[in-house]
Amino acid sequence: MADTLQGRIIEGEFRSPHNGFQQAPGSIHNDEVASKLGFKGGTVPGSVHMDQFAPMLVQTYGADWLAHGNMSLHFTQATVDREEVKAVMEAASPRSRLTMFNREGDQVCIGTASGETRDAESEMARRMATQALASPGALRILAGYKIGDTNTGIPMRIEREALEKSLSRITERLPLYDEGVLPPSHLVRLAHISRPTVLAKVNQSVGLFGALEIRIADGPLKAGHDYVGRTTMLKLTESPKTENAWYDVDIADAGTGEDVATVTFMIRFMKASSPLWARPA
């Protein structure tokens, strides 16, 4: 497969992803909230952009990618509702390179993918390894957390009706989705059910996806099925404008207890959104 993959470029069409969370109060997806923080408007969730790469990955690795594949994206520029973006894949072995651009040619995200569950050199793994830990006492929004914090027994389920409703506005619709298979964005959505538990201490701070990685071990995952999650805090970092939480959400089949997928999140919490950064240290 390495010979057939190497250097092959696959380009998608420009699509107009929908921001389905504009009405969420206190969210970066809300126009008013995002504008106050310096964004053009409410942002499209980065997970939505994952769906534009899915047909390329299935074309390259087969439908088995939805059962045993991975995708890892680092987001470099937020987009707003209906902003046109194009996905590009450079197929290669052992991993393919993913990029996305808007009409102006600005890069929206960069990443990697392969037909294997794990990739030790994925985009997110490499970036996380280079990030320095936040200095002791530097964090305010994430001050209540430490590396190794865990949560277990989190019920997770996406109803079939919810999936079918969202498929009407998905950027790239694969036939398998009509059979209840979760698109990449919905695998993230399933894992994100853990957010009120794992990030219960951040109060009103506004966060957005800085990076996402999905690793499917025994899929495809489906709507209308019960799963259970556990979370592990991997790293806590900061930048001049953000505090960043990196954590795994391992998803197990509720019936068998066997792990079927993992989603790794890097969530950037905007310092400007938090009253904890409105006062001197």
> Per-residue pLDDT for 67 more than 60?
yes
For residue range 130-157, what is the model confidence (pLDDT) as tens digits? 999 999 999 999 999 999 999 999 999 9
Give the pLDDT score at 176: 97
Q: Closest by alpha carbon to 45, among 221, 231, 244, 188? A: 188
pLDDT band at 23 (very low <50, low <70, confident <90, very high): low
Whole-prediction pTM value? 0.94
> Per-residue pLDDT for 59 more than 70?
yes
Q: Which residue has the higher pLDDT, 41 or 124?
A: 124
pLDDT band at 2 (very low <50, low <70, confident <90, very high): very low
| Residue 220 preceded by cis peptide, ω within 30 | yes
* Average pLDDT estimate for 248-268: 98
Q: Which residue has the tokens 């969730």?
A: 45
